[in-house]
Chains A and B, each alone.
Chain A
Amino acid sequence: MWRALIAIYISTGSVDCVDRSKFRTFEQGSFGRRYRKYINKVEGDAGLVVHKLDPSTIKSSGNKVQASLLFANDASVKPLLLELSFFLNDVDGSCGIVRAFVTEKDPLHPRFRLTPGDVVRKDEDLQPDQVAVTEGAGFTEIASTRGACKVKLQHSPFQLEFVAHGRVLQKLNSRRLLNFERYRAKGAQAHAGLVDATDLDPNNLFEESFGGHTDSKPRGPAAVGVDVAFEDAVDVFGLAEHAVGLGLGENRLPEPYRFFNLDVFEYALDVPMALYGAIPLVTAIHREKSGETVASGFFFPNPSEGFVHVDASKGSPQTETWWLFESGVMDMFFFAGPGPQEVLQRYHTVTGFPRMPPISTLGKHQSRWNYVDVEDSIGVNRKFDQHDIPYDVLWLDIEHTDSKKYFTWHPSHFAQPDKLLAALEASKRKLVTIIDPHIKKDSGYDVYNKMKNHDFFTKTKDKQLYDGWCWPGTSSYPDFCNPEARRLWTTFFKMDYYPHNRPDLYTWNDMNEPSVFNGPEVTMPRDNLHKCSEKDYEVEHRDVHNVYGFYHHMATVEGQLVRAPNVRPFVLTRSFFAGSHKHGAIWTGDNMAKWEHLAISVPMLVSLCLCGASFVGADVPGFFFDPEPELFRRWHQLGIWYPFYRGHAHLETKRREPWMLGKEITENVREQVTVRYQMLPTWYTLFAQWALAGQPILRPLWFQDAADSEAFRHQNTHFLLGSDVLVRAITKRGEDTLNVYLPSGSWFDFWSMEAAPLVGGKSHSVKADPSHVPVYVRAGAILPKKMRRRRSSLAMASDPYTIVVYGEKAGGHVYMDDGQSHDFMRGHFVYDKLSFDGQELVSEPAQTLHMAGAAKGAAGSFKQSTAVERLVFVGLPSSPVSADMEGKETFQVTSTRMQNGAWVATVKKPLCQLGTAWKLRLRF
């Protein structure tokens, strides 16, 4: 949410593009500059050994192995500690999670390590995988006792191979780029030989400047870096968030991908510049000569500034990467496959499973910077009803507060928020208010005073209260790294603290990179100080920069839980880190109403989903600038297929609620939003499968079959919703024919029951319909729907289901619960498996989702209709004459002919309930 203030700041730059000179490139920082020299040095000297493992130090116990890494060129330097831990996949108990932890022994300053349980779950909460250690000639093998997962450690030069599925998947340090810069005193004696990159470039170790800001760097150099090779893999994905294509190697960027969470004004596309969030996870698809594929993952959750270079040179069968962070420890994870789905299960095993959102937040969101006042907001709510357009959540941006003091209301414009809250409640809708991290420096502001009195604000390098500029003017920034500060933050959400609060008043966390208008790179100085644990302020901002937003988000979610423990929280964040999926939704920040931004939303969102964050969306139809009508409608047509679908607008844009662009567009948006709501049962099932079993919601086109190499070529314009719904974005103005690639199988047109199915495994040229983007459903899918348009998702609670069966043999799931509470954790849910064999449609309880625990779902334990009003069978070879429930009740069937001569049969009111077992037979 970049605002006018900053637009003025940099107005000397180009109008529609980021001012890149404000942001640091790889070699503008000293640790990048010297690492480049280190890479050149090592690569130029094939015999150079910097690190070697001392086999005599190997100790193993249970699932852990420890060893020392010696510096070969200076025996006086204390060795590094290497610790390997093996864990099991929480979902299926298989092996294939290896944690490799490297740090220095007896550091001069404590090296920052994330508190266990925050980003990565505590060791004791993971299932250990006992290991067996075997010594070889010049190497040591550590193998899982549960399966064929192992690590091979080469002693000199030190190298780690990760082996699973009968093959070497990844090699760590095979290029000898390991660089571990130990803390040292200023003026310490130089190393005897090459120990780390500082030996090649001793400049700016203790101070450096950028853009008029000086970083005092009192603790000196502390970078950590290493190379990782993905064997026989040219397709690598992840590293969200960057505004680039999905294939990381294909992008062929001159600079490494940067991780440094920033508020980038009008961000550029197809550049490796950092954006608002960081998920240092890569998933690789390894391809055998036979065409078979295996997936693996590498995860390096270091929250300091990072750079990841991805080199998938043409012709090379593998992808080489290197990873460099400014400080902290090397805490790395190797994940086995065999598919990308299993990689994600392991990632979620380590970082935790997502939070199940309230069902309302899967509906349409309506935001604007800013709805002017209570009357305006109520008017917007009423207009949706007058136009019969469903939506669920109204959003209030910063202007709703009293002088940008969060947890307050504007004294005149929002003097009576209860009127708005009542109007929303009457239409079964919700409200979101924005709560940014910057706290106005104002002695009359209680939040400020409380934070200040508890000494919970971030400090300067001199341990003084840090002041920065943001919306309210001079502001202080809570030290969200401090658990006590987070605890105090949660109390601001209590019913008796935040005026006009409601148990389901949701929150939007913006500007939490954090954005500081007058700070270096629009954020806070790296030498600022945090207190992340009991001890005094000893963590530098550089150590934790990329988790500032993560902790702000986490504290806000905890605040909502403190307020109402059995109401599901909803918090949207702009800044995020690995693990933010546990807290809530993420959006891609301040995009623009431009076709290129619509186009980039596809790989950006799919990339986030591949990084475990599936509750994601891009602002429709672009935040900055006024969209042209065609862009407006195409973006809504695409937006209904985003997991998080929000309309939003910049302060200086024209009003753009769905009815503002004429009748035709209003009707189109109404129809498309209706389709979003009709698909809500499918969405909700997908969210449950994500939250409870780690399955991504949006998936790249190849996700179900990575052997389909053609599918990779269309991954930036096509995506899958779940496994069976294929969406093709329309990314250009005036596109009237489109190339649609369908993976193998047969595909039904989502928009037309009559259309003949298309054969997959090839591209089809299709006409672009002005009213929707192309969407196809895989033959073999079963989709649960609710066909009745309502005002909002909660107004649909008593509506019956329609089950649509595609093809002669099909299967699918449906999940439901009360949509609002945590009762599902106590077994109050329904999770059914539906299968059709050409004659019989069978409903039975599905295998329980992983995290739902032992409690088995029970229908009727919550207030939701479980009735099925209609079964639709698409693509039957002949027309059924009737349908009955295991020979008992008989139901009316009506059939219509498809263009290919097949039939669509509709069973009227089959009198069955979801959550119960039944068999419905079609009679031909």
Chain B
Amino acid sequence: MRDWWRLALLSPLGLLKPSEALTRGVNPAEAPRYHGDTFACAEGATELPASSINDDFCDCEDGSDEPGTAACAGRPGADERWFYCPNSAGTPRYVYSSRVGDGICDCCDGSDEWQLPGTCQDLCEEQGRARKARLEQRRAEMERGIRKRQAALADAEAEVKEWTGKLAVLEAEEAELLKSLQARQEIRRQKRAAVVKEAEQAGREVAPDLAPESKKVSEYAKWMEKGDSASEGPGRPGASNSEQVCSDKVCIARAAVARRELRQIKVKSGALVDFVEFVYASGEASVVGEGKGEEQEPFDLEPGEVLVEIRGAQGGLLDRIQFVTSRGRESKAYGGSGGDSFSFKASDGKMIVGLRRAVGLAGRVTGMEEALFRPLTPAEKELEDAVGLVQEAERGLSAKAASMQELQGKIELAAGAHAAYQSLNECGTAQLGQYNYKICPFGEATQGHVRLGRWKGWASDARHVGLFDNGERCFSGIVRSLRVQFECGEKHVVETVREPSQCVYEATMTHPAACDPRDFEESDRGWTAPGSRKENLQKESRVLEGAVIEADLTLKAQPLHGAVICRLDGTPSQLLPAGPGRSVHGLPEIRCAWAA
């Protein structure tokens, strides 16, 4: 009996003619079990007389003796037993045993209320007609959506081909760059060894700013913007070799960093000093400060001239700053007149190459960066050059990696499960109730002027569900978020938006990318109800979950206690959670998928 489902087809109702009372509520596939003179609750269990079947008394723990009554409803072991509605003028389906004889019509043919004659009418045909009309309409819409999606997928495929080609080129280039980097690193190692040896022989320390790996100025500047207090704590670049120095009431840190050749200092200031920008010979710049000060005349350094002193005044903010060079030249005093004055000179043999400041508008100076100034020995000069070359190679490599990553991301999106969403990307809008909604996949979702969330990604627990988070904060402090169920449709239309709990939104939106033809083909082939959960368990070595599957053009089911299994010609679908599906005629839609 491997293929119980096929058996159901081979055993037409008419052939068996079981007593109606004994097989009431029984799926025809199961009927033979109820034909004997005796009945066993389970294989090997004590035989009961056939009169125990459907006698409105629960004899079996699993409820199998009462397929047609509610006598076993509520027994913990009988949760797998359902009442089978033949719905001869419509589609057979299962209902919970608890529905039988409660005076409420659940089967469209009213067969669940057989104990209360006259309670229900047979509405299957009528309901079936109406449903069919609705389904036909939906089918046409779905077909248009599927065509759109397929076209988009074809475009995406071409693009993916092109991108894949580009990626291969980039990969080859990357390999070359890597080789070059390794060679330059080796040279640097040799040069550093030479410098160390030379220093040892001369009996002096290795210049600290030649020993460490150099930092990228731009990254460092970025890091500086992060925090005020943090900028003075341990763990910052160069902090290990920084020291505290004071000038009158002002104390700052003096940190040793790598050599940089300073060319120009640009300042923006008013009554306070907002921006200070150090421009280096390499073309890079380090910007410290914040604010809107006016741009001042820059201070240029001549070749060979370096910065050896900063003067100024500050309290909580930097009021004034002035720069003094190795040649005794003084810049203009930028800024205003408040604050405690200070003057910091570079240490012996060093020059000032950078500033550190507290964050915020015109943040005070918290440190100055020094680098070796004495003329370099030839070996040191060679090391400096070698370090520069390594840095250059590293920059090239990381730029390459970034472009590859970008391309890979594009390919993944275009070839992945949600490929069509990329190429058919469009915002959906709707006016629902008093609000205008706009949902942009990969962008933002808004309700009027209120942001419900920013695109976060696809849900892992359901198909065609996009998540938005980090919306605007609610009055109560909850941050708004949105879950969007995309449904097959030709256009991008927001259909429903709900707020089931405060500031947690759920929406449905039509999107042609949700028109997966597999869903459609499956639904086109028709469905039938599965046998009991228990039987499935015996036939399949996998845990199946409860399901009530309605045979219909679309896939509709009542999710029971968690998940749903669908079958087609005996092949079980993937196990899918009974997530909050779309509601069709009051029943949530369940999708079942098969491996190709």
**Which one, B96, B102, B476, B498, contacts A388 given CB within 8 A?**
B96
Chain A hits for B234, CB < 8 A = none
Is B57 an interface residue, CB under 8 A from the partner?
yes
**B561 contacts A387, C-beta separation under 8 Å:** yes
Kindly supply a per-residue 1/0 record for chain B positions 548-575, scoring 1 wherever the CB is within 8 Å of any chain A CB and 0 otherwise. Answer: 0000000000111110000000000000
**A795 contacts B104, C-beta separation under 8 Å:** yes
- Smallest Cβ distance from B62 to chain A, in angstroms? 15
Chain B hits for A146, CB < 8 A = none
Once A7-B476, A663-B561 are accepted as A-B contacts, the answer to whether A787 and B103 lie under 8 Å apart by CB is no
| Docked CA distance A133–B381 (Å) | 123
**A671 contacts B76, C-beta separation under 8 Å:** yes
| Docked CA distance A7–B476 (Å) | 9
- Smallest Cβ distance from A398 to chain B, in angstroms? 14
Is B74 an interface residue, CB under 8 A from the partner?
yes
**B498 contacts A788, C-beta separation under 8 Å:** no
Kindly supply a per-residue 1/0 record for chain B positions 89-114, scoring 1 wherever the CB is within 8 Å of any chain A CB and 0 otherwise. Answer: 00000001011011110000000000
- Smallest Cβ distance from A674 to chain B, in angstroms? 5
**A788 contacts B98, C-beta separation under 8 Å:** yes
- Smallest Cβ distance from B97 to chain A, in angstroms? 8
- Residues 572 to 611 of chain A near chain B (Cβ within 8 Å): none
**Which one, B71, B102, B500, B586, contacts A376 given CB within 8 A?**
B500
**Which one, A4, A376, A671, contacts B498 given CB within 8 A?**
A376
Chain A hits for B558, CB < 8 A = 386
- Smallest Cβ distance from A549 to chain B, in angstroms? 28
**A666 contacts B102, C-beta separation under 8 Å:** no
Kindly supply a per-residue 1/0 record for chain A positions 637-666, scoring 1 wherever the CB is within 8 Å of any chain B CB and 0 otherwise. Answer: 000000000000001111100000001001
| Docked CA distance A652–B434 (Å) | 22
Once A412-B433, A667-B561 are accepted as A-B contacts, the answer to whether A789 and B98 lie under 8 Å apart by CB is yes
B interface bracket (residues with beta carbon within 8 Å of A)? 35 or more
Chain A hits for B475, CB < 8 A = 4
Kindly supply a per-residue 1/0 record for chain B positions 47-72, scoring 1 wherever the CB is within 8 Å of any chain A CB and 0 otherwise. Answer: 00000000111110000000000110
Kindly supply a per-residue 1/0 record for chain A positions 862-880, scoring 1 wherever the CB is within 8 Å of any chain B CB and 0 otherwise. Answer: 0000000110000000000
**B104 contacts A791, C-beta separation under 8 Å:** yes
> Which has the most chain B C-beta neighbours within 10 Å: A388, A651, A655?
A388
Chain B hits for A667, CB < 8 A = 561
| Docked CA distance A674–B499 (Å) | 30
| Docked CA distance A677–B74 (Å) | 10
Once A388-B560, A795-B102 are accepted as A-B contacts, the answer to whether A653 and B501 lie under 8 Å apart by CB is yes
- Smallest Cβ distance from A605 to chain B, in angstroms? 26
**A788 contacts B73, C-beta separation under 8 Å:** yes
CB closest chain-A residue, reference B477? A652
- Residues 55 to 101 of chain A near chain B (Cβ within 8 Å): none
Chain A contact residue count (CB 8 A cutoff):
40
**Which one, B59, B74, B103, B478, contacts A789 given CB within 8 A?**
B74
Is B502 an interface residue, CB under 8 A from the partner?
yes
**B502 contacts A652, C-beta separation under 8 Å:** yes
| Docked CA distance A256–B75 (Å) | 50
- Smallest Cβ distance from A870 to chain B, in angstroms? 7
**B104 contacts A427, C-beta separation under 8 Å:** yes
**B476 contacts A674, C-beta separation under 8 Å:** no
| Docked CA distance A390–B102 (Å) | 13
Once A387-B560, A671-B76, A790-B70 are accepted as A-B contacts, the answer to whether A655 and B98 lie under 8 Å apart by CB is no
**B74 contacts A787, C-beta separation under 8 Å:** yes
**B501 contacts A788, C-beta separation under 8 Å:** no
| Docked CA distance A388–B98 (Å) | 8
Once A4-B475, A386-B558, A387-B560 are accepted as A-B contacts, the answer to whether A789 and B104 lie under 8 Å apart by CB is no
Is B504 an interface residue, CB under 8 A from the partner?
yes
Chain A hits for B70, CB < 8 A = 788, 790, 799
| Docked CA distance A67–B234 (Å) | 88
| Docked CA distance A386–B501 (Å) | 21
**Which one, A372, A427, A655, A674, contacts B74 given CB within 8 A?**
A674
Is A382 an interface residue, CB under 8 A from the partner?
yes
Is A408 an interface residue, CB under 8 A from the partner?
no
**B57 contacts A869, C-beta separation under 8 Å:** yes
CB closest chain-B residue, reference A796? B102
Chain A hits for B498, CB < 8 A = 372, 375-376
| Docked CA distance A655–B500 (Å) | 7
Chain A hits for B560, CB < 8 A = 386-388
**A790 contacts B102, C-beta separation under 8 Å:** yes
Chain A hits for B75, CB < 8 A = 787
| Docked CA distance A693–B102 (Å) | 32
**B74 contacts A678, C-beta separation under 8 Å:** yes
| Docked CA distance A427–B104 (Å) | 7
| Docked CA distance A37–B502 (Å) | 52
- Residues 571 to 588 of chain B near chain A (Cβ within 8 Å): 586, 588
| Docked CA distance A745–B102 (Å) | 40
| Docked CA distance A788–B478 (Å) | 42
| Docked CA distance A498–B348 (Å) | 91
| Docked CA distance A427–B167 (Å) | 61
**A428 contacts B76, C-beta separation under 8 Å:** no
- Smallest Cβ distance from A907 to chain B, in angstroms? 11
> Which has the most chain A C-beta neighbours within 10 Å: B99, B102, B475, B586?
B102
Give the 10 A-B CB pairs with smallest separation, nearest first. Answer: A789-B74, A663-B562, A795-B102, A789-B73, A789-B98, A652-B476, A655-B501, A788-B73, A674-B74, A388-B96
- Can you name 19 extra interface pairs (CB under 8 A) apart from A386-B558, A789-B73? A372-B499, A372-B500, A386-B559, A386-B560, A388-B96, A412-B433, A412-B434, A428-B104, A652-B476, A654-B501, A655-B501, A663-B562, A666-B561, A787-B74, A788-B73, A789-B74, A791-B102, A795-B102, A909-B57
14 A-B pairs with C-beta separation under 8 A? A372-B499, A386-B558, A386-B588, A388-B560, A426-B104, A427-B104, A428-B103, A652-B478, A655-B504, A787-B75, A788-B71, A788-B73, A795-B102, A797-B103
Residues of B at under 8 Å CB distance from A? 55-59, 70-71, 73-76, 96, 98-99, 101-104, 116, 433-434, 475-476, 478, 498-502, 504, 558-562, 586, 588
